[in-house]
Amino acid sequence: MDKKFENIKQDALVKINNAQSVKELNDVRNEYFAKSGLIAALMGKIRELEPSTRKDYGQAVNNLKLFLEENLGVALEKTRSSELRARLASEKLDLTLPGRNFEVAPQHPFHLVKDEICDVFIGMGYMIAEGDEVEEDMFNFTLLNMPENHPARDMQDTFYINEKLLLRTHTSPVQARVMQSKKNEPLKMISPGKVFRRDDDDNTHSHQFGQVEGLVIGEGISFSHLKATLDLFAKKMFGPKREIRLRSSYFPFTEPSVEVDVSCHVCNGKGCPTCKGSGWIEILGAGMVNPNVLTMNGFDADKFTGFAFGVGIERVAMLRYGIDDIRRFYQNDIRFLKEFPKR
């Protein structure tokens, strides 16, 4: 019996030593330790033996089992380490090799225009402030002269998360937060970013779009400062021959308020399909900051005045590049993007 088990050990050692991979070693393990393997078969024969020989036989099978487990364990650990080293060597990166030539992607018109608008106002000395797209009702409405049940809230169909949180409907909350931190200090800022409103998407409307809103507060700020600022902006964005026109309007956070038109860049104000025959194209809204807004945000309305404005990024881009559908900005059509300059 001892010779039989010794032969099994030697035969198993040969198979273990000849195995070249973890897979082959696992095959050896299965041969001996699977439910239908050799160890199970040897253990199954105990019941056929005489009671006097069962103890020695069982001990011999157990010794064989321990022998195989020990040698297979050592071989598996050694082979796994060897395979890992080989894999790591094959995946080694040579950092001295030249880089691959990747195709340069075109710039998205949204970001082209947003960056250009920001550059115009940075050149005028404005600071840039950005905020969260999930905003508090207090900053989105109340501190901008739109308390609860104010009819102006109906002008902006809002995505509410709960009673206090919402997706911002404009970037004005950023201005309110900056005003809260700059009480009774001169302020000159723009706040670019995405805004959200419950609107049906069509070629001119979207439930999400971009805005750049501006705010200037100081002593002696007048409507003429606002007009001069917007005139310079129009000329920088649409050409030196462009003129602006101001039309009376209403916004709860400004008083007086105006809609701002720019002379059509296609027909130079003569009238064409682009401007619907009027010679003018609406580009933004603006006005003098309502004294209530100044007071609620910590400014002395008897000492400080200011103006505010807001321009739609897609609106300017559509005029600049002749884009006929605002949905093109969000459809990820590479053919559309290839029409614009590369980075």
* CA separation, residue 155 to residues 151, 171, 332 (Å): 8, 15, 30
Domain ranges across the chain: 2-90, 109-337
Mean of per-residue pLDDT scores for the chain: 88
Pick the CATH number of 109-337 from 3.30.930.10, 2.40.110.10, 3.40.50.720, 3.30.450.20: 3.30.930.10
| pLDDT digit string, tens, across residues 281-322 | 899 999 999 999 999 999 999 999 999 999 999 989 988 888
Instruction: Give residue 155's pLDDT.
Output: 64
277: pLDDT confidence band, cut at 50, 70 and 90? Answer: confident
pTM of the model: 0.67
Return the percentage of the chain with pLDDT > 90, whole number.
43
Most confident listed range (115-129, 148-162, 197-211): 115-129
Picking from 50-59, 75-84, 234-243, 280-289, which range would have the lowest pLDDT averaged per residue? 50-59
> At residue 26, does pLDDT exceed 70?
yes
Q: What own/partner pairs with CB < 8 Å and gap ≥ 24 does 291-294 have?
A: 291/255, 292/145, 293/143, 293/144, 293/145, 293/253, 294/217
> At residue 77, does pLDDT exceed 70?
yes
Please state the rounded mean pLDDT for residues 131-135.
Answer: 94
* CA separation, residue 38 to residues 5, 30, 68, 76, 108 (Å): 11, 9, 11, 20, 68
| pLDDT digit string, tens, across residues 201-220 | 888 888 899 999 999 999 99
> 118 near 213, Cβ under 8 Å?
no
> At residue 68, does pLDDT exceed 90?
no
Instruction: Give residue 1's pLDDT.
Output: 59
Q: Does the CA dihedral 316-112-170-220 come out positive or negative?
A: negative
| pLDDT digit string, tens, across residues 154-167 | 766 889 999 899 99
